[in-house]
Amino acid sequence: MTKMTIPKISEQIAVPLEAIASSQRIAILLAIGEGEACVCHLETILGWRQAYISQHLMALRKADILEDRREGRYVYYRLKNAAYLKLIAASAEVCGLSAEGVLNIGDTKTHASCECPHCAPTLLPVVSP
């Protein structure tokens, strides 16, 4: 086992922190929470353009924070490790917010304007002619 030094450990710890250290990425992780979400669902919750969200999703996946799963025409994203949510909750406490409140901000309700299978499970997938 190689000897751990403070600089070495710090370098390792900084990797995931740097990967999530932007308000957009924290928002995406909070919106996904412990479940999974597709891009159109995130688009509805966050109110951002799909291309913008996709760009952050790709970066988070590349950083090994998110993993994806394809089902039909939808790609679902989820956290590889729920500890990222604890990390965000701890950061919330540092700035005086309630950790619990921040973790419960993710909404699990369905949205009429979203047509993902979570929001519109009764709709059959649209087949292009």
Site residues, Zn ion (CB under 5 A): 41, 114, 116, 118-119
Contact 30, 102 (CB under 8 A): yes
In whole angstroms, give the CA distance from residue 74 to residue 77. Answer: 10
Is 94 or 124 the residue whose CB approaches Zn ion more closely? 124
Torsion of CA 37, 18, 48, 128, to 10 degrees: -50
Q: Smallest gap, in angstroms, from Cβ of residue 71 to Zn ion? A: 13
Q: Smallest gap, in angstroms, from Cβ of residue 75 to Zn ion? A: 13
Q: Smallest gap, in angstroms, from Cβ of residue 72 to Zn ion? A: 14
Q: What Å distances lie between residue 96 and 20, 91, 99, 109, CA to CA?
A: 19, 9, 9, 27
Instruction: Give ∠ CA 63-71-127 in degrees, rounded to 5.
Output: 130
From the list 24, 79, 82, the residue with the least C-alpha distance to 56 is 24
Q: Smallest gap, in angstroms, from Cβ of residue 43 to Zn ion? A: 9
Is 76 or 84 the residue whose CB approaches Zn ion more closely? 76
